[in-house]
Structure 1
């Protein structure tokens, strides 16, 4: 695309990024007319990662208390994730305050681990062609050289188990394996295993009481295997998109990027980023 052709597009994006509250409000009104339900935005930053936490459920509850939710609600969600227990609370808050007993989720861009779990609580997930969900294995904080970093619990546990298995099978010198195993804290590994089990339990229970109601826990677990472990996606951060989500048995409404409704969603998303 020629530089001159790009300029109007860039100008439009910059304009939408600098929109004020009134402009966003107008777009929400248009979205609500289309959906026939009130829309509530729930964003946390990818640029300066802020994890979903328990206080977010309290804030969301405060917002919903003041709204007419007789027709249900739609959660406009974009987040890098956070605490699984907080996600479970948010699902419960949305379902409890919605007078229809359910809610829909719109993912304009990305809803990763705990945010994916919040989407699981919806009765319908609306995705665009580039919208992303992701594996729900927890991201846990670990301090390295006074630097706080986030690690996939699944990858840490798998690395530990692989090393331990090699040490058990080794018939010669165990010293190299023992030195490497010393880097792991067994208490942390137990906590990581518990966190993985908790995430899976929350996801399955949430789906069993919502869009997969009537199916056994075993059936649900098998259906959403791609979300339960990065084994299928090869890495925690890899996107799980439209067709894959539908094959899992989730209730997905797929929107084309040229759809007028999705253009509204994209405009609103641009105003937040």
Structure 2
């Protein structure tokens, strides 16, 4: 029997990474899923803007982790911006261009909030509704609008908006949060068509139950276990499960995926 011929593994340290020197803005990336996405994109060669809204300490920690592993730092900077504020969003893109002297190639909008008391519609106050839609829907719109005008055209331009698999699961207690994300999914599909001819793709990534602070907020151990049992793989997702998918979508290999909502939930929905 002939011995199969195998290709040698390349150990060339100068080999170009998939996102080498592309500039990526990741909103809400000081913690949770956004944090993991920022770190993963940096590992693929991207120069990353780590966006935060309030405390800078967590964002600075992410930046330090990325830059400590970089061959030629700085590969990451922290920028404060409220995604629900149009002036802040414009300043976020301005800061990215100044920091890396380049157009922005990638926007990943990961910023999002929910009400950890999980009220029914009957018990949801207008202030909470407006707050959730301001960040989740208005924020996604403002970031997406800025990206459609400023992300690099002609190839490599990527827009990824994080939504939720709850749009498919439709669980009680999540009506406002789910509705705020469903609107984003519709917008992304239309944006993908509006960007025809630019080479920019627009997609949504819709996580299921992911082990983050936001997921655990307000949930009992019994509820967490029940949700875990509802997942065919028998575990909660980890932030890197989402980050790996985002990394593919924003790379050249993900170019043919456009105008889609991709659920990453272990079979939960």
TM class by shorter-chain length?
under 0.3
Structure ID, larger Rg: 1
